[in-house]
Structure 1
Amino acid sequence: MNAPSDQARTAHWITTAVEARLLRGALDVERTAHGVLPHRLPARAREQFPDAELATVEAQPSGVRLAFRTRATAVELDALPTKTVYQGVPSRPDGVYELLVDGRPAGRGSVPGGNVRVVDMATGSAVLRPGPPGTVRFTGLPDGMKDVEIWLPHTEVTELIALRTDAPVEDLPDRGRKVWLHHGSSISHGSFAADPTGTWPALAAALGGVELVNLGFGGNALLDPFTARAVRDTPADLISLKIGINLVNRDLMRLRAFVPAVHGFLDTVREGHPNTPLLVVSPVLCPIHEDTPGPTAPDFEGGELRFKALGDPADRVTGRLTLGVVRDALARITAQRAADDPNLHHLDGRALYGEEDFAELPLPDRLHPDPAGHRRIGERFAELAFGDRGPFAVTGG
Structure 2
Amino acid sequence: MHTTNDWITTPLTRDLLRGALDLERTEHGLLPHRLPAGARAQNNDGQLAMAESQPSGVRLALRTRATALELDTLPTKRVYVGAPPRPDGVYDLLVDGRPAGRGSVTGGNTLTIDMSTGAAGLEPGPVGTLRFAGLPEGDKEIEIWLPHNETTELVALRTDAPVEPAPDPGRRVWLHHGSSVSHGSDAASPTTTWPALAATLGGVELVNLGLGGGALLDPFTARAIRDTPADLISVKIGINVVNADLMRLRAFGPAVHGFLDTIREGHPTAPLLVVSPILCPVHEDTPGPLAPDFTDGRVRFVATGDPAERASGKLTLNVVRDELSRIVTQRAADDANLYYLDGRELYGQADAAGLPLPDGVHPDAATHRLIGERFAELAFADRGAFKG
Q: TM-score range by the shorter chain?
A: over 0.9
1:294 aligns with 2:288: yes
Match of 1:3 in 2: none
> Which range moves more in the overlay, 147-156 or 296-305?
296-305
Q: Residues 10 and 357 (structure 1 numbering): CA distance in 2 closer, same or farther, change over 3 Å?
A: farther
Q: Distance in 2 between matches of 1:357 and 1:10?
A: 52
Counterpart of 1:358 (choices 349, 352, 371) is 352
Match of 1:390 in 2: 384
How far residue 299 of structure 1 moved from its aligned partner, in angstroms, is 1.2
Match of 1:163 in 2: 157
Q: Residues 70 and 9 (structure 1 numbering): CA distance in 2 closer, same or farther, change over 3 Å?
A: farther
Per the normalisation by structure 2, the TM-score is 0.99
Q: Distance in 2 between matches of 1:382 and 1:51?
A: 32
Q: Distance in 2 between matches of 1:69 and 1:190?
A: 27
1:103 aligns with 2:103: no
Match of 1:4 in 2: none
- Aligned-partner residue type, residue 168 of structure 1: P
How far residue 68 of structure 1 moved from its aligned partner, in angstroms, is 1.0
The Cα offsets for residues 147-198 of structure 1, whole Å up to 9 and x where unpaired, read as: 1000000111000000111111111111210000000000000110011011
1:272 aligns with 2:256: no
For the aligned residue pairs, the C-alpha RMSD in angstroms reads 0.9
How far residue 303 of structure 1 moved from its aligned partner, in angstroms, is 2.4
Counterpart of 2:244 (choices 231, 250, 253) is 250
CA contact (8 A) 1:27 1:40 kept: yes
Q: Distance in 2 between matches of 1:142 and 1:387?
A: 34
- Aligned-partner residue type, residue 177 of structure 2: H
Mind listing any 5+ residue stretches in structure 1 that lack a counterpart? 1-6
The Cα offsets for residues 351-389 of structure 1, whole Å up to 9 and x where unpaired, read as: 000001111100000000100010000000000001121
3-state DSSP class of the match of 1:203? helix
The Cα offsets for residues 33-88 of structure 1, whole Å up to 9 and x where unpaired, read as: 00000000000111111432211110000000000100100011000001111001
CA contact (8 A) 2:84 2:297 kept: no
- Aligned-partner residue type, residue 272 of structure 2: L
3-state DSSP class of the match of 1:265? helix
The Cα offsets for residues 115-135 of structure 1, whole Å up to 9 and x where unpaired, read as: 000001111010101100100
3-state DSSP class of the match of 1:379? helix
Counterpart of 2:208 (choices 214, 228, 232) is 214
Q: Distance in 2 between matches of 1:8 and 1:383?
A: 45
Q: Distance in 2 between matches of 1:51 and 1:276?
A: 30
1:20 aligns with 2:10: no
1:133 aligns with 2:127: yes
How far residue 8 of structure 1 moved from its aligned partner, in angstroms, is 5.3
Mind listing any 5+ residue stretches in structure 2 that lack a counterpart? none
1:40-119 alignment, distance < 5 Å: 40-119=34-113
The Cα offsets for residues 318-338 of structure 1, whole Å up to 9 and x where unpaired, read as: 110000000000000000000
Match of 2:141 in 1: 147
Per the normalisation by structure 1, the TM-score is 0.97
1:269-348 alignment, distance < 5 Å: 269-348=263-342
Q: Number of aligned residue pairs: give it.
A: 388
1:180 aligns with 2:178: no
CA contact (8 A) 1:279 1:346 kept: yes
Q: Distance in 2 between matches of 1:225 and 1:370?
A: 30
The Cα offsets for residues 234-281 of structure 1, whole Å up to 9 and x where unpaired, read as: 000000000000000010000000000000000000000000000000
CA contact (8 A) 2:64 2:139 kept: yes
Q: Percent identity?
A: 73
Match of 1:380 in 2: 374
Q: Distance in 2 between matches of 1:311 and 1:171?
A: 50
3-state DSSP class of the match of 2:367? helix
Q: Distance in 2 between matches of 1:75 and 1:245?
A: 40
